[in-house]
Structure 1
Amino acid sequence: MIFIKAKNFTADRAWGALDIANMNGVTTRLHWTDQPYKWHINDGEEVFVVLDGEVNMHYRKDNAEHVQRMSVGDIFFAAIGTEHVAHPIGEARILVIEKEGSV
């Protein structure tokens, strides 16, 4: 059993993570970042939850780029094939649930 104060978590690099759980090949990780990630498509579905800070989630749909501002408590679900990239606004802490080893 563990308790985690997400807003106190930091990492030594952007997108550094604390592994929380691996449940039958599905990982739950807490990320800290102050830098954008990279455009990517996950190997499976992804659940992305903003726990602290704000994030502009860029995604491609119908051959166009869209941006959705995410605040604390907001959730983004990326189905298989969803191309996306997260751009934090300052520091952000994000809970990511995805297939183990996904990009």
Structure 2
Amino acid sequence: MLGKGELKSFCEQHELPYTSIVGLKNNSLKREQPRLLQRLLRSLDVATELIRIPPNSVSPRFLFANLEALTTFQTQFKSFDSNTPPLSDSEHAAGASESPAP
């Protein structure tokens, strides 16, 4: 998860337009940006394919490449939603043993 102030460097590193990513984050874009969202997901190692169901639909949908990509996305989304970084079981166990007891 990105810390405060790290979004700009993340955008520069992945060649993403900072202003548009902030607009996407704040839900202030004037129109849907499915390709930008797909590029952002790809930068977070979540492979997707942009599809339209039904074919004449105005709103695009995202198809995840496999179950692992969907699981990665869900894990990252939950961590962003809860404002905690995703940890593996070994990192979580190590962090718990280092924390002082209340």
State the TM-score bracket (shorter-chain normalisation): under 0.3
**Structure having greater relative contact order (Cα 8 Å, sep ≥ 6):** 1
Question: Which is richer in helix?
Answer: 2
Question: Which is richer in strand?
Answer: 1
TM-score (norm 1): 0.25
TM-score (norm 2): 0.25
